Structure 1
Amino acid sequence: MIPGDFYLISRGDDGLFAGSHKIFQRESSGLRRVSYCGRDYWVRPVTVAWTQVEVENRKEVRVEFNMGKGWRPICEKPEQQVTLKDLGVTQDARVVLSTNGQDLDGVNRFSAISESFQKGNKTKKASYHD
């Protein structure tokens, strides 16, 4: 693993910063494995959606790296390398952004909460003290 920060950064025609999303070098909950310019990263689907929308809005998006000496572009046109479709997401990128990707896992939050309380011994008990 390389020390430093990796981000998808969007810039306007003038090259000035417009926005960014952090991309990760390690797997974590809610992240999906992707590859930009032959290097693996972990991203949230909403990050891929953001990338697509930024390009639609005529921004240039690149993978950039910073190890304390300023931002260095290391990968061009990430929007052509990873799409929502590649992640199995069929929703429009703008919908994914507006919901912050909440409906992507297909898990009803209340069902997940209920299920978490029912883990363990599932045999019926006559009373709390059994």
Structure 2
Amino acid sequence: MFGMLAFFSTGLTGFANARGDIYIRAQYSNGGPAGLHEILTVPEDGYYKAQFCGRTYWVLIKTVIWIEEQSAAGRILVLEENTGGSSKVLCVGAAAFARLEDLGLDPEILKKLRRKPQRSNRRLRRLPLAQD
């Protein structure tokens, strides 16, 4: 396991302050990677405020849909901070992650998103790992 050089705190506001990049990673029960999405610690256009593991982040709608899909498929969800060559697990478990209903979306938009058929023929993009 890599040594941890990153600093992470929630401060008094419950907002995430991180020095590294924050990712939600899905993995199979055997520990193999199933994919990941980056989330932000500061607001940006097109991103929604969401709670993950008791901290506030900003995410894309497609990330929350992906979280729900991964959870429904029985994959393990992990929130982690990556700084350079090291990573720190911040929390694990689907119950700690936001759902579409948590984003404060207009009810009509939420209905449309829930009616969308599940995408098929999705291509898994493999990211190089440190040991590659």
Count of aligned pairs = 97
Aligned to 2:101: 85
**Contact 2:25–2:35, Cα closer than 8 Å, also in 1:** yes
Provide structure 1 residue ranges, at least 5 long, that are not aligned to the other structure.
Answer: 99-130
1:28 aligns with 2:44: yes
- Out of 61, 73, 76, the residue aligned to residue 77 of structure 2 is 61
Larger Rg: 1
Aligned to 2:91: 75
Provide structure 2 residue ranges, at least 5 long, that are not aligned to the other structure.
Answer: 1-16, 120-132
**Contact 2:80–2:91, Cα closer than 8 Å, also in 1:** yes
C-alpha separation between the residues in 2 aligned to 1:33 and 1:56?
22
Q: Aligned-pair distance for 1:12? A: 0.5
Aligned to 2:9: none
Q: Deviations over 1:13-34 (max 9, x none)?
A: 1112110111001111110011
CA RMSD in angstroms, aligned pairs only:
2.1
What TM-score comes out, normalization by structure 1 length?
0.65
**Contact 1:33–1:41, Cα closer than 8 Å, also in 2:** yes
Q: Aligned-pair distance for 1:76? A: 2.1
Percent of residue pairs identical: 26
C-alpha separation between the residues in 1 aligned to 2:73 and 2:86?
25
Aligned to 1:38: 54
- Out of 5, 13, 18, the residue aligned to residue 29 of structure 2 is 13
Higher-strand-fraction structure: 2
What TM-score comes out, normalization by structure 2 length?
0.64
Runs (4+) off by over 3 Å: 78-81
**Contact 1:49–1:96, Cα closer than 8 Å, also in 2:** no
